[in-house]
């Protein structure tokens, strides 16, 4: 898909970030989770306070994918102590790549992924890592296609449901 623009998310984009975050998370995970657990996670995980703190964190960066000036997806990367699990100084976590369902299969996720890899090269990290829900075969295939390999598993709590994330990494050095 051509004409996809990437733009770094700023504090004044909080409302747009909250909307795209909630919509893409809901589209991706609603069918496999209870309505109650989804509601709780969407309220807490994308609360104004939480997103403000994430946007203000110098070790996290968000980028919007835009098509015809409409936000259609986003990327969040973390480094150093902002990483959710591994706290190695010389690694980068891709915490989120989410794209609106209507744009799946149009290379938007790949463009966001390439931005994350550009950042990882600029920061000269040893490896890039992430976690993917074991019941998200589309995302697992995407990262495997891009050279990521499984190295561990961890539990992600969605409401009162404990789910297994597959931890994957791509060694760069």
Hey, which residues are catalytic here? Answer: 143
Tokens of 69: 């000036």
Q: DSSP 3-state assignment of 83?
A: coil
Q: Which two tokens stand for residue 26?
A: 């809901």
Burial tier of 36 (Cβ tally within 10 Å: 0-12, 13-18, 19+): exposed
Contact yes or no for 166/153 (Cβ under 8 A):
yes
* CB-CB contact of 148 with 168 (8 Å): yes
Residue 151 tokens read as 């190295």
Where do runs of H (alpha helix) occur along the chain?
14-29, 35-45, 48-56, 108-122, 137-145
């Amino acid at each position: 898909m051509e004409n996809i623009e990437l733009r770094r998310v700023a504090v004044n984009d909080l409302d747009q970030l909250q909307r795209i975050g909630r919509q893409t998370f809901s589209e991706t995970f609603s069918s496999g989770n209870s309505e109650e657990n989804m509601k709780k996670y969407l309220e807490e995980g994308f609360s104004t306070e939480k997103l403000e703190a994430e946007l203000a964190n110098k070790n996290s960066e968000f980028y919007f994918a835009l098509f015809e000036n409409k936000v259609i997806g986003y990327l969040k990367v973390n480094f150093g102590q902002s990483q959710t699990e591994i706290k190695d100084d010389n690694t980068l976590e891709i915490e989120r790549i989410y794209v609106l369902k209507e744009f799946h299969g149009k290379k938007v996720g790949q463009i966001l992924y390439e931005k994350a890899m550009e950042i990882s090269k600029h920061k000269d990290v040893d490896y890039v890592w992430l976690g993917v829900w074991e019941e998200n075969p589309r995302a697992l295939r995407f990262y495997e296609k891009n050279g990521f390999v499984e190295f561990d598993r961890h539990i992600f709590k969605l409401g009162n449901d404990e789910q297994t994330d597959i931890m994957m990494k791509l060694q760069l050095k």
